[in-house]
Structure 1
Amino acid sequence: MDHSSPRPERPPLDGLDTVCVVARHASFSAAAEALGLTHGAVSRRVAAVEAWLGLRLFERHGRGVRPTPDGQRFLARVEAAFRLIDDAADRWRPRRGPEVVRISVVPGFAKLWLFGRLAALEQGVPPLRIEIAVEGRNADVERGEVDLAVRYGAGGWRNVAVAKLLPERLYPVAHPDLARRLGSAPEALLQASLLHDSDATGWRAWFAACGIALKPRLQDRRFEDYTVVLAAAGAGLGVALARAPFSDRAVQDNGLVRVGEQEVPNPLAYHLLTRPGEARPAAGVLADRMMALASRT
């Protein structure tokens, strides 16, 4: 007599991969394009998983979607499960080509640093194939959503290993016409719009070094992408901070010139985030290559 208990019902496995792709792209349409499916097929797969769970995984947000709180918890566990499957496949399946490493980066870093160095990072022994997720959100490195991530800030991210990748120096730049009108005195820059991304930390540090306490101002402009900050400065909309050496080429390409001689260390920097202790060997190889290239930037 068979006393074995019945196998528990599993969720639709193709749907699990689909909900992960939807979460990664924050869009049903973008997920459909990435998977080679129709929008309707993606919607049906997500609906099947939600029906199996008995809860909603996504809510609409602007032009896209984002995980609900329940969805975030569920997706984190699914990503971790897929990571276990990937690790098992890496261990037991014969190698047939470059090992894939997934990295999450913000748009400015991708455009100004990573894309131009991608070939150098993939070449060598062992060869790598780097899958890049260009996104503003913080991908979950600890749970294996990606192998590595590059984030901009002061550091201090928890539950991950953090290494400063690109220390920077700050100095103001502007369109040549605006630079001539302003002159080189730090106080003169307050006559123009100050351009920045995320927050004004860099500007506060620069003015503090000049003995000026910068307060919030309505005429200043904020853009989420640093490349847009430099483009706005190139269009004469205000003064931006160059982040040398990271932005050297972009400053030149946008036709910007230096305003004054004051230069200060940036209190923020790009950092490389990896999983502590149990990171995949290929992720360690990519991290070492990125650190080596950054040291020569």
Structure 2
Amino acid sequence: MAIKPPRPKGPPLNAMRAFEAAARLGGFTNAADELCVTQGAVAQQIKTLEGWAGAPLFERKAQGVVLSRVGQQVLPSVIEAFDAMGHAVLELQQAASPHRIHIAALPAVAQLWLSPRLPELRAMMPEIEISVTALEQAPNLAREPFDLALFYGANADQDIVRDRIFPVCTPALGRKVTSVADLKGVPCLSDAVWADDWTLWLRTEAPQEDVIPRGPVYSLYALAVEEALNGAGVLMAHEALVQRHLESGALIAPFEGAVETGQTLGMQLRDGKPRPALAALIKLLLSESSL
């Protein structure tokens, strides 16, 4: 009778992924954010992997976790392996769907900058299927299934436009706001993520004015823009996100002076030469007709 002894089980892949993310990002919380799971789930996965390996991979300390000697030794190989897996997944996606492009973008960028351009992009590239996912944080393009990411930052692979901020409002409200001092009497709209915009603009453009902006704060910048269009107050605007409303006259800039934030709206690209469909899309997004 043939003997078929059980084969040794390999390490659970999800646990390896949790270890790699926690080690690379410096903690369980950051790993949980990237993997879209709870911190407890990451901790449990790593505990499972440590049980399989028979050795601790992290040292638990009061101020957090640090890699153990074993964790430090194996981390470079694990990172290399997951980078290779990410590259293989990308090749599979491109081979199976060469005309499908998946873009990740900051919600405000997806709604206010990219969305108005999609009809033109579809008309100019009818063979391309474009999907868009809104994310609060830029993805790791070496690991996640996106071809292109559009976010504000200081170190984009390809700059689109420098970020400038300035107040905007409807023409009707603009007739009541003729000086910076008038901001004391109107709601000043702002976004929770860009909470310091008003302070930056006032400090740069009107340091002599004793103005403390007060008004609604929104967790979605697109909602803040919509409320500005409704006449609800004066919004501290990011130029690229309100440009079409300025061009149409729906919004105006009641004061002179725009402040550069030091960031750019830019593209993050995967390493390597983009395939033809993606290269054509990038060229259109950067062209004057699209900007």
- TM-score after normalising by structure 2: 0.61
Change (3 A) 1:6 1:107: same
Aligned match for 1:260, one of 255, 262, 269: 255
After TM superposition, give the deviation of residue 240 of structure 1 in Å.
0.9
Q: Once the two structures are aligned, what percentage of the paired residues are identical?
A: 22
Q: 1:248 aligns with which of 243, 247, 255?
A: 243
In the superposition, the TM-score normalised over structure 1's length comes to 0.60
Shift of 1:71: 4.7
Contact (CA 8 Å) 1:230, 1:250: kept in 2 or not?
no
Q: Check 1:260–1:89 CA distance in 2 against 1; reply closer, same or farther (3 A cut).
A: closer
Cα deviation, residue 205, structure 1: 3.6
Secondary structure of the equivalent of 1:257? Answer: coil
Given that residues 198 and 213 in structure 2 are in contact (C-alpha distance below 8 angstroms), is that contact kept between their aligned partners in structure 1?
no
Q: Is the 8 A contact 1:178 1:236 kept in 2?
A: yes
Q: 1:202 aligns with which of 187, 197, 200?
A: 197
Contact 1:80 1:143 in 2 (8 A): no
RMSD between superposed Cα atoms in Å: 4.4
The equivalent residue for 1:234 is 229
* Cα distance change, pair 138–125 in 1 and its aligned pair in 2 (3 A): closer
Quote the Cα distance in structure 1 between the aligned partners of 2:209 and 2:222: 23
How many angstroms does 1:118 deviate by? Answer: 2.3
- Partner letter of residue 140 of structure 2? D
1:163 paired to 2:158: yes
1:247: Cα distance to partner?
A: 1.2
Aligned length: 237
Distance in 2, matches of 1:163 and 1:4, equals 56
Which position in structure 2 is the counterpart of 1:187?
181
| 1:67 and 2:16 aligned | no
Query: In the alignment, does 2:113 pair up with 1:113?
Result: yes
The equivalent residue for 1:137 is: 137
* One-letter amino acid of the counterpart of residue 87, structure 1: E
Unaligned runs of 5+ in 2: 15-30, 47-78
Partner SS state of residue 256, structure 1: coil
Q: 1:89 to 1:253 in 2, by over 3 A?
A: closer
Contact 1:101 1:147 in 2 (8 A): yes
Unpaired runs of at least 5, structure 1? 17-57
- Paired amino acid for 1:141: L
- Which protein has the larger Cα radius of gyration, Structure 1 or Structure 2? 2
Aligned partners of 1:142 and 1:274 also within 8 Å: no
1:180–1:124: structure 2 CA closer, same or farther, 3 Å change rule?
Answer: closer
Tell me by how many angstroms 1:274 deviates.
Answer: 1.3
How many angstroms apart in 2 are the aligned matches of 1:152 and 1:215? Answer: 30
The secondary structure found in structure 2 opposite 1:199 is: coil
Q: 1:215 to 1:187 in 2, by over 3 A?
A: closer
Counterpart residue type for residue 106 of structure 2? V
